[in-house]
């Protein structure tokens, strides 16, 4: 890239990080300050805001110099930490969106049972923790231990990407769980919400 293009890319990525940070900080502050917002469904939006804030504060800033130079200068350990957090946070965001859609689905289509859910099943913290645990298990063990299990690394010293990057069957399984299953789930929940609301309006 020419110098002008590099400067433009750096500006746009820095702006993206700033907007991501500010937008999600506002969501978190609103949740903290306004007690009226602290009902079950909004905890899931808080969860989404936390994961997106971390992407803007940590993942994007570290990606900017790597993207602009094409080389990773921060060492292998920071690379693994960055990759693990990037995959974890992005996956947690996706799963949080599914959880938000599922919660809306229950509140609209099963309103009575939704309000009457007993203790642990209605506790948003349990579901939020489950989102993070599942997001961690999907990619992080592979990022951290793939080269140790394989016995070698395929990543050059000045590069930073996951060891499974060219392993199509792992990518297929992980992409199915991270993208296709959430996409189908969110579509299913929202289609049922739409039809339920339409039936009520007739």
Q: Which two tokens stand for residue 54?
A: 């971390």
Contacts for 25 with CB less than 8 Å, ≥ 6 apart: 53
Distance CA 43, CA 27 (A): 11
Are the CB atoms for 89 and 63 separated by under 8 Å? no
Are the CB atoms for 155 and 163 separated by under 8 Å? yes
Report the CATH number that the domain containing residue 144 is assigned in CATH: 1.20.1070.10
Are the CB atoms for 20 and 53 separated by under 8 Å? yes
- Domain of 158? 3-201
pTM of the model: 0.91
* pLDDT by residue, tens only, the chain of 202 residues: 688 999 999 999 999 999 999 999 999 999 999 988 888 889 999 999 999 999 999 999 999 999 999 999 999 999 999 999 999 999 999 999 999 999 999 988 887 777 766 555 568 899 999 999 999 999 999 999 999 998 999 999 999 999 999 999 999 999 999 999 999 999 999 999 999 988 877 6
Query: How many domains would you assign to the chain?
Result: 1
């Amino acid at each position: 890239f020419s110098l002008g293009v590099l400067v433009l890319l750096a500006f746009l990525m820095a702006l993206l990080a700033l907007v991501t940070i500010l937008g999600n900080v506002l969501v978190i502050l609103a949740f903290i300050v306004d007690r009226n917002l602290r009902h079950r469904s909004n905890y899931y939006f808080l969860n989404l805001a936390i994961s997106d804030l971390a992407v803007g504060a940590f993942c994007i800033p570290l990606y900017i110099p790597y993207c602009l130079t094409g080389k990773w200068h921060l060492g292998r350990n920071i690379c693994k930490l960055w990759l693990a957090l990037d995959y974890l946070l992005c996956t947690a965001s996706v799963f949080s969106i599914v959880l938000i859609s599922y919660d809306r689905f229950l509140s609209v289509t099963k309103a009575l049972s939704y309000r009457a859910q007993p203790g642990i099943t209605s506790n948003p913290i349990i579901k939020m923790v489950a989102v993070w645990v599942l997001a961690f298990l999907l990619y992080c063990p592979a990022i951290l231990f793939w080269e140790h299990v394989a016995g070698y690394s395929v990543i050059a010293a000045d590069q930073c990407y996951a060891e499974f990057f060219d392993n199509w069957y792992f990518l297929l399984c992980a992409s199915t769980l991270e993208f296709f299953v959430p996409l189908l789930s969110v579509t299913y929940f929202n289609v049922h919400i739409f039809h339920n609301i339409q039936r009520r309006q007739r």
